Structure 1
Amino acid sequence: MASDNSPPVIVFDGVCVLCSRWVDFILRHDHAGLFRLAAMQGAQGRSLLIAHGLSPDDPSSFLLVQDGHGFSNTDAIARVLKQLGGRWRYASAAVRAVPPGLRDPAYRWMARHRYRLFGRRSQCRLPEPDQAWRFIE
């Protein structure tokens, strides 16, 4: 597939407390502004999930779309961490050191139980005005 010039997009669950913390982490550590963020509750996030074979109503993973390819589960997490650079490259290597057959089922279990384990917001996370450019929709 040809390279896509659009920035990488992370599709996340906008009402999940854990997912919102992940978004906060990205905003805090993505100093270059590499990633854009789309809530799965929005039209753009929903269409990206469908296009990459994930349920837009209750995905078992978040989605990273980069260069026209979709990445999910711990592979997506490792890719994001590596691109953040610095010490996060070591965290990426640590994630990848665990075989996918072990790490992905554990991740999917946590994703399925995310509301029970971490909580759910009554509405989607709203960006701060100075961060709004990072969000799609």
Structure 2
Amino acid sequence: MNIILFDGECHFCDASVQFIMKRDRRKYFKFASIQSDIGQRLLEEFNIPETIDSVVFIEGKKSYVKSTAALKICSRLDGMWRLFSPFLIIPKKFRDAIYDIVAKNRHKLSKKNECKIPTKDELERFLH
């Protein structure tokens, strides 16, 4: 299963989930908030600290965080987003430094104050 764990209390993260769903017509991804029971179980199963301040992408038996997770997710999206995949050759240290700047400021970057209520079709993609 291909699961994206996201901060369920972050409007920027909610917007990111909406962005991904619109560009994932094949429904490759399932979603769960890090704060949910299943999110907590997956963090434990993959030895990821509960305090992680990152999107987490679980693909099969591997997990990815920070810039690697974001770029691996992009590689599965429809359209031009796949063109970001080659950035994986940039050393992780540099990619994650940029990711950390965005993550640190994600609450300021979101212009939304509320989350979108998912449709029935979208709801089926969320793990509980």
- TM-score, structure 2 as length reference: 0.84
Distance across 1 between alignment mates of 2:116 and 2:95 = 27
- Show the counterpart of 2:110: 118
- Show the counterpart of 1:33: 27
Give 1:91 shift.
2.2
Could you list the per-position Cα deviations for residues 33-69 of structure 1 after superposition, in whole angstroms to 9, with x for gaps in the alignment? 000000112100112123333333x422111111111
SS in 2 for 1:74: helix
* 8 A Cα contact 2:23 2:78, kept in partner: no
- Show the counterpart of 1:136: 127
Could you list the per-position Cα deviations for residues 57-85 of structure 1 after superposition, in whole angstroms to 9, with x for gaps in the alignment? x4221111111111111111111111124
Structure 2, unaligned runs of 5 or more: none
Letter in 1 for 2:119: E
Of 79, 91, 94 in structure 2, the residue corresponding to residue 102 of structure 1 is 94
- Show the counterpart of 2:15: 21
Q: Establish whether residue 10 from structure 1 lines up as the match of residue 4 from structure 2.
A: yes
Question: Against the structure 1 CA distance between its residues 52 and 110, is the aligned structure 2 distance closer, same or farther, given a 3 Å change threshold?
Answer: farther
SS in 2 for 1:84: coil
Give 1:11 shift.
0.3
Question: Against the structure 1 CA distance between its residues 97 and 85, is the aligned structure 2 distance closer, same or farther, given a 3 Å change threshold?
Answer: farther
SS in 2 for 1:110: helix
Question: Against the structure 1 CA distance between its residues 28 and 117, is the aligned structure 2 distance closer, same or farther, given a 3 Å change threshold?
Answer: closer
SS in 1 for 2:28: coil
Letter in 2 for 1:60: D
Distance across 1 between alignment mates of 2:73 and 2:127 = 18
Identity of matched residues, %: 27
Give 1:113 shift.
4.0
Out of 67-76 and 98-107, give the one that drifted further. Answer: 98-107
Give 1:119 shift.
7.2
Q: Establish whether residue 45 from structure 1 lines up as the match of residue 39 from structure 2.
A: yes
Distance across 1 between alignment mates of 2:116 and 2:43 = 18
Query: What is the total number of aligned residue pairs between the two structures?
Result: 128
- Calculate the aligned-residue CA RMSD, in Å: 2.3
